[in-house]
Every structure is written in structure tokens, then in C-alpha cells.
Amino acid sequence: MASDNRPVVKVIGTGGSISYVGDHRLDYVDYNYANKHFTIDELLDRVPEVHEYARIESEQFANVGSTDLGPDHWLPLGRRINQVFREEPGVAGIAITHGTATLEETAYYLNLVVKSDKPVVVTGAMRPPTAMSTDTDLNILNCVQVAGAAEARNMGVLSVLNNEIQAAREVNKTSTYRLETFSAHDLGCLGYADSNHQVVFYRAPVRKHTHQTEFDVDGLDVLPRVDIVYSYAGADDLLVNAAASSEAKGMVVAGLGSGGSPAPFTRGMLRARDQGKVVMIASQAATGRVIANRRFREQGFVASDGLSPRKARILLMLALTVTDDPARIQQMAYDY
């Protein structure tokens, strides 16, 4: 009997637009109203071509919109992925279907906690499976292709939508409804799951990820709380004080431009620091870094480097499982 060289890919469904059942073919907006979902097996049945690329195993982790996924799901999802790689050595990679709203957050979390160099690839859809010209089927196919590709090993957690393979650390959802929404801005995508059925890479992430990180949270029941406070012209300290009043050991500020905030807001940040909270500054700007400049260093704040506010929060949550030393956490922002 001829040997079967197809890789084993485990497909994990979590929900999202990629799973919603809309009312009709032109329902691009209200399809989540009735909250009806296809299962992951029903979605895979739509794409028999996946079996040309992989031996598929499927499991349904959740079936909800991604605005309802968060740290309480990340912990068991990360734990499950680590269990699969530990106990099922035949699995070559994992493909995850997910809502696009928080896809980049789940992907970056997994990028920091999965203890394997095997591919973990997340996809979603901008148009539900019931809509005309849905991107569901091709995104599922591409996700399985990348999860089974030897070239995708040791690249950290990846996303693939619209044929583009992106690094979890860098990718952001940039558009509310357009298909071309996931972008790493000026850093660019890593490669393509392309129209000629090839998975091609042009570059690899250099920041540490997955098995290279110091985070081991599989034994935790809950992740440290970190909130994000948004800065704006004329902002006072009301919301900073609210964030500082929780039990959280850290907060992220979504700062203006290179990371600044109005003086009353900054005074609230300094009081939070004096209470022993780690204050990490990210930026609302779409591209570029927040740099630990002289003022931020003197103020004892941590700069997020190029992490968006939502990803800075994830790094800080994980960092706080290891240390509350701002200098060590600053180094983590450069390392990861």
C-alpha cells in the first residue's frame, strides 16, 4: 500500500464570523444577531480540498464571536495545544478558526506560551460562510496548508487570511469589513499561501517566541489582570485612577504618538507607579515603536517597543507571572 505522506493537522474551532450562519447571501452585517454557528466539522465539510494537503483531526474548543474570547479561554487553549504537541507527536501542526476581532490577541498570547516549534496558525473570515464571495473556504484551506507546511516550523504563531501569512507579534486588524484587513504595516507579511497552492516564506521573525520564551502558565487558573487606559487630548486622571484602583499589578497606557499623555493623566500614571504598579506605555499610532526615552526611563515607565496596546497588555500579563521588576519587563518588550 502506498504510504500516506500527508501531515496530520489538528483543526480547532473557536467560532467567529467564519462560523456564523447568516440570514441570506447578502447578509454581511447582521449575521451574528441570531448567534447561530456552523460546527468546525460542518465548516471542514465545505472544503474537501483540505484532505489533499493533510490528514485532518478536528475539535471544537468553543463556538462564539471573538469579542467573547479572552484570558479565561486563552489559558485552556494554550494548555490544550501544549497537550496535543506533548501527547500526540504525530500531529504536524495546528490550525485554529477564530473571530477576527481578537484574532491578533489570541495569536500573540499563543506565540508566547506554546512550547513547540511546530506550526500553530490562526485564521478567520471577514464574510460569513453563508454570504456571497465569502472568504471562509479559502482561508480554511490556506490555514491547513500552512499548519502542515514544514516551512512554517519555528516561525512562531502565524495568521493566514487573504493568502497572507503574518507573524502574531506584528499583525493587526486594520479594517472593519474589507477582506484585506490583516496587516503588519511597514514590517510586511512573512509570505503567502498562494494561488498556485504553494506556501512560500520570504522572511522569518527574529523576536523570541513559543518554545524560546520564559513563560509557563499551563498550571495557572487565572492570568494577572492588566487593563488598558486610552489617552487623548484633554484627558485627566479619572480612568488612570480607576485602573490603578484594581488589584492589578500593572496597566498599559495607549499613549499618543510616541507615547505621551496630558500632564494630569501622566500624574495619575506616576501615582500608579508609586503604588508599585508596572506602567507600560504603548501607542495608538498604527506603526512604529514606543522608545524608552529619557523621560520615560526617569519616570520608571516601561516602553512597549512595537507592541500595540492590546499586545502590550498580553506581554505584561505574562511578564507579571514571572516578575514585577520594570527593568526586566522592559527587556521582555525587546526580547518578545
* Residues within window 180-239 making contact with ligand ASP, judged by CB under 6 A: none
Work out how close the CB of 182 gets to ligand ASP at its nearest, in angstroms, rounded to a whole number. Answer: 10
Distance CA 148, CA 276 (A): 45
129 binds ligand ASP (CB under 6 A): no
Q: Are 168 and 159 in contact (CB under 8 A)?
A: yes
Q: Which residues pair with 240 in a beta bridge?
A: none
* Residues within window 63-92 making contact with ligand ASP, judged by CB under 6 A: 65-67
Work out how close the CB of 229 gets to ligand ASP at its nearest, in angstroms, rounded to a whole number. Answer: 23
Q: Which of residues 11, 12, 13, 17 is near ligand ASP by CB under 6 A?
A: 17
DSSP 36-82: -B--HHHHHHT-TTHHHH-EEEEEES--S-GGG--HHHHHHHHHHHH
7 binds ligand ASP (CB under 6 A): no
- The three cell numbers of residue 240 are 488612570
Which 3 state secondary structure label does DSSP give 158? strand
- The three cell numbers of residue 16 are 467567529
Q: Mask 26-55, x = binds ligand ASP (CB under 6 A)? A: ------x-----------------------
179 binds ligand ASP (CB under 6 A): no
Q: Which of residues 16, 156, 224, 306 is near ligand ASP by CB under 6 A?
A: 16
Q: Are 152 and 121 in contact (CB under 8 A)?
A: yes
Distance CA 143, CA 158 (A): 9
Q: Which of residues 7, 13, 22, 124 is near ligand ASP by CB under 6 A?
A: 124
Work out how close the CB of 16 gets to ligand ASP at its nearest, in angstroms, rounded to a whole number. Answer: 4
130 binds ligand ASP (CB under 6 A): no
Pick the piece of the chain touching ligand ASP (CB under 6 A) from 96-104, 190-198, 267-275, 294-302: 96-104
250 binds ligand ASP (CB under 6 A): no
Interface size with ligand ASP, residues (CB under 6 A)? 11
Report which of 221, 230, 218, 225 is spatially closest to residue 317, judged by C-alpha positions. 225
37 versus 277: smaller Cβ distance to ligand ASP: 37
Binding site for ligand ASP (CB under 6 A): 16-17, 32, 65-67, 99-101, 124, 126
